[in-house]
Chains A and B, each alone.
Chain A
Amino acid sequence: MRLSGRQISCIRGGRGVFAGLDFEASSGDVLAVVGPNGSGKTSLLRLIAGLLVPAAGSVLLDGGEAERTLPEQAHYLGHRDALKPALSVRENLSFWRDFLGGAAGDAEQCLTAVGLGHATHLPAAYLSAGQRRRLSIARLLVVRRPVWLLDEPTSALDTAGHKLFVGIMREHLASGGIIVAATHTPLGIEARELRMGGPA
């Protein structure tokens, strides 16, 4: 499986964020998108996720499921956790499992895997920022999708959480997944760097 972008340009709010960007990642690869603030790291991830339309160029996924689009085969872990404080931890996760569909994973098991096994019945409102991030990570596990688009995935995670997450990423790569992560801090996993320039 190969994720590639050719000559992508991104314009937001009349301002060119980046132009003529090429990248490539194959199964088992981690692409770490690095660069200063405003260089378009988040825009690139959202562009791959289909949430932004490129001004020029295209993003392709070769070797995925033919009848599904790239966004439908990708997980996007953004700054915002997509959690509802009024719902319990389990309800939050089972909703995303049912909505994102696919082979239904076991919510309890995934919650235990991210270290939230003790809090499944509690409202998500009671979770700390790090725990909310863990719950979002559980979403990556409960529905299997080959491409993971991670925006600052390790922010708010403590050392133990970071270590746990590295393990989760390794497992994903071993099963042939692709990770594109925008990050300021080292991911803790061997990765190819995609350096974004300053504001164009």
Chain B
Amino acid sequence: MTLIDLANPTKFLALTARVLPWLTGATAILLLVGFYQAAMAPDDYQQGATVKIMFVHVPNAWLSMFVWGVMSIAALGTLVWRHPLADVAAKAAAPIGAAFTFLALVTGSLWGRPMWGTYWEWDARLTSVLILFLMYLGLMALWRAVEDPSRAARAAAVLTLVGAINLPIIKFSVDWWNTLHQPASVMRMGGPSLDRAFLIPLLVMAIGFSLLFVTLHLAAMRNEILRRRVRSLQMMQASQAA
């Protein structure tokens, strides 16, 4: 099974129909194990039980950036290789990426409440993630603004790639902006070295959430392919004579 075979949406649908149940099962098992291990992990001597938010926060924060990477590759697929499934992959990934980013923000802010005494702090990391979230929403709005998905695809692909180049610049500027105002007063999450008791559950959770993304992404791509089929069937129906 090569990438070329996958270019055929029918083959893609058939393959994912076989793979998805297994993926769903693996995701569920890994996340269950991860949550169990996270619950059993010892409290931090400084942060207490709140440290456990990290087990959800870190995988989500990691995925929030990873999904943009996936979309950037898909955008290249749309613009350079004209792979027929590339824009389907890009469109399906955006809401999932936005959801992971949102979860990263919410968990970060829940962690911040006991640590900083406020739900929100214009900390460099949180702020960068918030901007990433805005860019996801903008991308979703772009997909929604154009009715014809193949026309929206190129615009979205260009925006995704521009975002991919800009995100590090934004991250750098936000860091600079933040230190300008707040010289290193904010406590950072995690430490220089993580204890094994934290590291293993964290890794399990990270793999579990990554699998969750793959599962959701494939399912969303299936939906998008089917949605486009419905659309072209409707257009055929409209053009047929009464």
Contact = CB atoms under 8 A, between A and B. Distances in A.
Nearest to A119: B238
B240 interface: yes
B241 A127 contact: no
Nearest to B241: A115
Interface string B116-149: 0000000000000000000000000000000100
Given A126-B234, A126-B235, A118 B147 contact: no
A118 B239 contact: no
A122 B238 contact: yes
A131 B241 contact: no
B193 interface: no
Contact of B237 (A86, A115, A118, A128): A118
A131 B147 contact: no
A112 B242 CA distance: 8
Interface in B198-242: 234-235, 237-242
A117 B238 contact: no
Contacts of B237: 118-119, 122
A115 B242 contact: yes
B241 to A, nearest CB: 7
Contacts of A123: 147, 234
Contacts of B235: 126
A116 interface: yes
Contacts of A125: 147
A116 B147 contact: no
B239 A116 contact: no
Nearest to A125: B147
B152 to A, nearest CB: 14
A85 interface: yes
Interface size class of B (residues with CB under 8 A): under 10
A139 to B, nearest CB: 18
A85 B238 CA distance: 13
B45 to A, nearest CB: 58
Interface in A117-169: 117-119, 122-123, 125-128, 131
Nearest to A89: B238
A23 B237 CA distance: 45
Nearest to B238: A126
Contact of A128 (B147, B239, B242): B239
A115 B235 CA distance: 16
Contacts of A118: 237, 240, 242
Given A122-B234, A126-B234, A117 B242 contact: yes
Interface string B143-168: 00001000000000000000000000
The listed residue with most A CB atoms (<10 A of its CB), out of B234, B238, B239, B241, is B238
Q: Give the residue among A85, A115, A118 with the most B Cβ atoms within 10 A.
A: A118
B147 A127 contact: no
Nearest to A112: B242
A192 B234 CA distance: 43
B160 to A, nearest CB: 25
B193 to A, nearest CB: 56
6 A-B pairs with least C-beta separation: A126-B238, A115-B242, A126-B235, A119-B238, A122-B238, A122-B234
Interface of B: 147, 234-235, 237-242
19 contacts: A112-B242, A115-B241, A115-B242, A117-B242, A118-B237, A118-B240, A118-B242, A119-B237, A119-B238, A122-B237, A122-B238, A123-B147, A123-B234, A125-B147, A126-B234, A126-B238, A126-B239, A128-B238, A131-B238
Given A118-B237, A119-B237, 11 more contacts: A86-B147, A118-B242, A119-B238, A122-B237, A123-B147, A125-B147, A126-B234, A126-B235, A126-B239, A127-B238, A131-B238
